Structure 1
Amino acid sequence: MLTGIRYLAFAGAAAVGLAGAPVLAQNEQFVPANFYWVGPYAPGGSGFGGGMIDYFAMLNERDGGINGVKLTWEKCETEYNNARGVECYERSKKKGPTGASVIHPLSTGITYSLIEKASADKIPVISLGYGRTDASDGRVFPYIFPLITNYWSQNTAKIKFIGMKEGGMDKLKGKKIVNLYHDSAYG
């Protein structure tokens, strides 16, 4: 199931970027690969970033891109660092013939840092299960796309799971459930 969800997320990210593209015939669409391959979060970032690059390469080779438009990308190491993430965004937003079609920061902190910039630049930001939760309201955040889940829906799922394990939601009455906050945008 998770593989299917990832496929849909990647396809959605590419489609969102292509949907905003000009009607002119184009040979390629630029999608930044601004992820983290080094540092303490590298195991998650390198797998995700590498997987995305492999997926785009496969689409180009197998399908000739998306509707004949080849995907291009460039890696930029964010190190899971907000300032580095903003630097990568600024460097990549005008790359290729179309500029960045979509940004996928893979970091809550970087997402927060890019909300105003990307909205002003009209570049969609994908946040897949992280990022600013209230950005789910597209009327207020028209260029932020929190796909699949956000922190509120994740906490709702946790409480429902605890309720199920306890024998029903009514069994939670009077119990204390702690949501540990660790003083970061992620927590």
Structure 2
Amino acid sequence: MKLKRMLVATAVAVSVATPALAELVVPSLVYRTGAYGPNGIPYADGYADYFALLNERDGGIGGEMVNLIECETAYNTEKGVECFEATKDLGSLVYQPLSTGITYQLIPKATAADIPILSMGYGRTSAANGKVFSHIFNFPGNYWSAASAVINHILDMEGGDIKGKKVALVYHNSAYGKEPIRTLEELAKKHGFELSLLPVDHPGQEQKSQWLQIRREKPDYVTMWGWGVMNQVAIQEAANIRFPMENFIGVWWS
């Protein structure tokens, strides 16, 4: 309800300020280029098509046409901040950064500008505390709950006892990939399993050393916070060392 009131209030302010040219301004931070372009293009196209549908079929939203302003970030944090700075004063209603790194940087900026951020299943998990983070909405899940779900699944597979088991986290070496670490560390203390951390540098094509370490240390389970080409490379490397796929568990972006 708070988000709905915020969006409505912003839309009213924009329409009052510019009655002759009233429109709903929605910036679209996309990444059609760069290493993660194959992931970003379908979303960018679908997002643009949906607002085009609303404009053509319904005359916009509430009688106001939607002006979708696309800005290319290439999944780069600095470019994402530049996109925000270039569009924030255009009457922008809401931002979807589509990147945990960009989201971290935009939280204080968007809050100061009184513009809400939607970070659906990504971003800063602690921002779920609305008393502290008033302008960011991270639904329907977050990376802490994802880490808990992974361990709960392993507990189910092991009959409720994973003391002494080994769990490896293969993660994208970025703000996104690091989000579950503290939760997994706390769960390791609680349940008595051994956690190993294996970062993979952008964009994720080089993983030989990580999977050689997995072959040496023989973890019982591997969980992965991957993105883009990192995912397919990890699956191939896991197959190369004959790691049991039923024990290889990925977060939703993997």
Whether these two folds match at TM > 0.5 is yes
Q: Which runs of 5+ in 1 are unaligned?
A: 1-12
Aligned to 1:133: 125
Give the alignment's Cα RMSD to 1 decimal.
Answer: 2.1
Aligned to 1:86: 81
The alignment status of 1:174 with 2:167, answered yes or no, reads no
Aligned to 1:156: 148
Q: 1:67 to 1:107 in 2, by over 3 A?
A: same
1:1-187 mapped onto 2 (5 Å cutoff): 17-22=7-12, 24=15, 27-95=22-90, 99-166=91-158, 168=159, 170-187=160-177
3-state SS of 1:179 partner:
strand
Tell which has more relative contact order, 1 or 2 (C-alpha 8 A, sep 6+): 1
3-state SS of 1:94 partner:
helix
Q: Contact (CA 8 Å) 1:127, 1:146: kept in 2 or not?
A: yes
- State the percentage of identical aligned residues: 49
| In 1: Cα distance, 2:6 partner to 2:155 partner | 37
Q: Contact (CA 8 Å) 1:18, 1:29: kept in 2 or not?
A: no
> Considering only CA atoms, is the larger Rg found in Structure 1 or Structure 2?
2
Q: Contact (CA 8 Å) 1:16, 1:102: kept in 2 or not?
A: no
How much does 1:15 deviate? 8.4
Of Structure 1 and Structure 2, which has the larger fraction of its residues in strand?
2
Number of residue pairs matched? 170
Q: Contact (CA 8 Å) 1:36, 1:77: kept in 2 or not?
A: yes
Paired amino acid for 1:129? G
Paired amino acid for 1:21? A
How much does 1:40 deviate? 0.6
| In 2: Cα distance, 1:15 partner to 1:92 partner | 22
Paired amino acid for 1:71? V
Which TM-score applies when normalising by structure 2? 0.61
